[in-house]
Amino acid sequence: MKTIKEKVMNQKIFASLLIAIFTSFVSISASAEEGAIRFSNNAFKQVITKNADGTTQYDYVEPGLVLPNDVILYEIVFENISDKPVENIVVNNPIANNSKYRGNSATGDSTEITFSVDGKIFAAADALTVKDKSGKSWQAKPEDYTAIRWVYKKALQPGEKGKVTYKTAIK
Amino acid sequence: MLLFCFASFFVSANVYAAAGDSVSSTATIDYVIAGTPASTNATAVFTEDRRINFIVADANGGASVPVISDMTNAVLQFSVTNLGNATQDILLTAVNTSVNPYGLPADNFDPLPGTLRVFAESGLTPGYQAAEDTAVFVDELGLNLPRAVYVIADIPAQVIDDVAAIALIAQVAEGGAAGVEGVAINADDNGRVSPAGVFSNGSTNVAAGISNIIPDSALAMETVFNDPAGLNPEDVSTALIQDIAGNGQHSDAGAYQILSPVNILKSVTVVDTLGGADPHPGATLRYQLDVTVSGNTSVNNLVITDSIPANTTYSDGSISLNGVSQTDANDAPADYSRAVDILSKPVVMIEVDLSQGGTVSVAPGITNVIIFEVTIN
């Protein structure tokens, strides 16, 4: 069941991605082709629809109308367009302005995901702390995160693609 | 407290003016190919759009405001809170409405024509100050901080318990220029419109909005009316028009209710012949009347009388006013108090003329203390 839902979701993301590329490629997304990696970063707004049969449908659309508390999905894709394996891949992404990270939303096959509250020290979610005004340390909450890091644990072979995603909520 | 809870309930995570901001996220990839490090990045950008959401709330403690007949500048207080994501100006108008938001007694009068006005709190001194609170619109309303707004009206001659219900209607306008009344926003980009209305004490006529649908764009800022519906009827028409959701306006209603301006708090102390507090025959009852004028208008010709209770006898020479002993005789202007029938006895009542023969008005907020004594037969 879960697999089917995710498949549906992924197709929708892919469809939306195509729309985004054809309609607003320059304005809302960017990809770079310098060197060995084709790298893209796209934002989609999550639209939740309750279906008549009681199921919930998640669509991901171009972020045309974005208001506070809307959820944004970021999809970052890297593709090896060279004829050699690419190694030691690390993707870093500071959380955007006006945005807060949604807990447990970061994904990435074959990656080790860490977070930071200061952009310098990266650690697993449960190992991050923040200090309050009195100097007392607390476990960091997802909205405290300022950056995410994905370390890709394999070599990316020629023609191979990797993808990482995460979600934010608009403040 | 009610207001506070209400506001808190609606406060969401948005805490700063963010509409129109470009939300930019740059991902960077570092990698090694054939032993050589390399790096590239990619940015996703879109614009945060403008949510217009604000509420007007009656701020008179959940009850009608007591006023007195013929009172000038009677004050109803409201609050306006911006729950959107951009600083806005808010235009204001007060209208007579026909439903008492607190139920009974039913609305049955209007303030004197032409006296209904609205002013926004200046922030200098809390509460309505005629000299300070002169702005007729709310200027640069930031997020989630309620701003007080005062409806001012003159009350005609009415009788006790008459009620005048008043609705305060607020219309969203462009912010961004301090001290300048912003242009009313009478349509959003999503097909929603404001109704027409006259605002800012009659100097601003907001035309009804024209439905306008602008395609959502990732980079342009769209405006969306997201305000809730009002909770009370907002005009005197038989249609009982009520504010609807998503129209760039919000309203709430309050009410004036005529009450006696004079409050008398009466208490009694028993002083028995043995120095205790047992009300046996021969014991003295000391009555105290605390007389206070409420509202903001002085009261003329205020005369207080109190009957001597049955089975008691007035104690001669026992009247005092604010600690000053009064004579029993009808001997104004020596003093303006007397024990009625002191010559023929028994004394049937005491009378204290706080107006001193009609020459003095009693101001609000001052307590006059009248004491007299009787003995139990």
List pLDDT tens digits, range A20-40. 444 443 345 555 556 899 999
| pLDDT number for residue A18 | 43
Average pLDDT over residues B134-159: 95
Q: Is B36 an interface residue toward A (CB < 8 Å)?
A: no
Average pLDDT over residues A103-110: 95
| pLDDT number for residue B135 | 96
Task: Find the CB nearest B51 among A68, A86, A98.
Answer: A68
Q: Is A151 an interface residue toward B (CB < 8 Å)?
A: no
Q: How does residue B11 score in pLDDT terms, banded at 50, 70 and 90?
A: very low
Beta carbons of A29 and A73 less than 8 angstroms apart: no
Task: Find the CB nearest A68 among B31, B42, B85.
Answer: B85
Q: Where are the domains of chain A?
A: 2-170
Average the pLDDT over each of A48-52, B5-9, B29-33, B148-152 and give the range with the smallest value. Answer: B5-9
Q: Closest approach of chain A CAs to the CA of B270, in angstroms? A: 59
Determine the residue among A19, A37, A67 to mutate to test chain B binding: the one whose Cβ has the most chain B Cβ atoms within 10 Å.
Answer: A67
List pLDDT tens digits, range A110-139. 999 999 999 899 999 888 998 888 888 899
Specify the CATH class of B262-376 in words.
Answer: mainly beta
Determine the residue among B31, B47, B143 to mutate to test chain A binding: the one whose Cβ has the most chain A Cβ atoms within 10 Å.
Answer: B31
Q: Where are the domains of chain B?
A: 50-258, 262-376
* Total CB pairs under 8 A between chain A and B: 147
| pLDDT number for residue A32 | 54
Q: How does residue B294 score in pLDDT terms, banded at 50, 70 and 90?
A: confident
List pLDDT tens digits, range A45-86. 999 999 999 999 999 999 999 999 999 999 999 999 999 999
Beta bridge partners of A124: none
Average pLDDT over residues B158-179: 94
Q: Which residues of A touch B30 (CB under 8 A)?
A: 88-90, 92
| pLDDT number for residue B59 | 92
CATH number for the domain formed by residue range(s) B50-258 = 2.60.40.10
CB-CB under 8 Å, B38 with A87: no
Q: Is A10 an interface residue toward B (CB < 8 Å)?
A: no
Average pLDDT over residues B146-166: 95
